[in-house]
Amino acid sequence: MKHEPGYIPIEDALRSLKSRGVPGPVQALVQVLADGVFRARCFCDGQRGDIPPHWWDHIVWWPESGKTFESNTAYFDLRPTRRASEIEVDRREIDRRWPSPPRGPAPTKDSIKAAARKLIAADRVPAKTIPWKRFHEEVCAEIGVKTSDRGYSLQTIRAAVSELRCAAQDI
């Protein structure tokens, strides 16, 4: 099946929401579709088109477990019962509503600066009262990480402290 540009199968959208940590991804997605926040496209009654928002209030899951869309298909308890297949949603709307968490390691600079400020206030000034290597160990101990942990190298700590020095010329 060829998808409309920017649209993804509803099963892929649900996997994406789950990986983003959205609680109750099926219910969350159905709710925004029912509210008309954004639209879903499908194949229904022999033609391709939008699923009307009011249909989502009458959804019957298949299989009956209510946990997934089988083959991107849903049934709606309307008179007559309607079957929508090849359901897809706009990926851009998913991304706007539930942004992906940032990739890569968590930023470490703020925690390094806070620990460095605390040590410097206690007269533990790198290259003045203690060597950089020892300062590195103490900063990491203050934060509760190992000196070998990603984002806490001596180079990273020197760069964060350098910014502190620029901000407060007396360090």
Residue 53 DSSP code: G
Rounded to two decimals, what is the model's pTM? 0.56
Q: Which pLDDT does position 64 carry in this prediction? A: 46
pLDDT confidence of 109, banded at 50, 70, 90?
confident
Q: Please, which contacts does 66-73 make with residues 24 or more away whose CB atoms are closer than 8 Å?
A: 66/26, 67/26, 68/11, 68/14, 68/26, 69/10, 69/11, 69/14, 72/9, 72/10, 72/11
Report the distance separating Cα 116 and Cα 40, nearest Å. Answer: 51
Q: Which pLDDT does position 73 carry in this prediction? A: 81
pLDDT confidence of 81, banded at 50, 70, 90?
confident
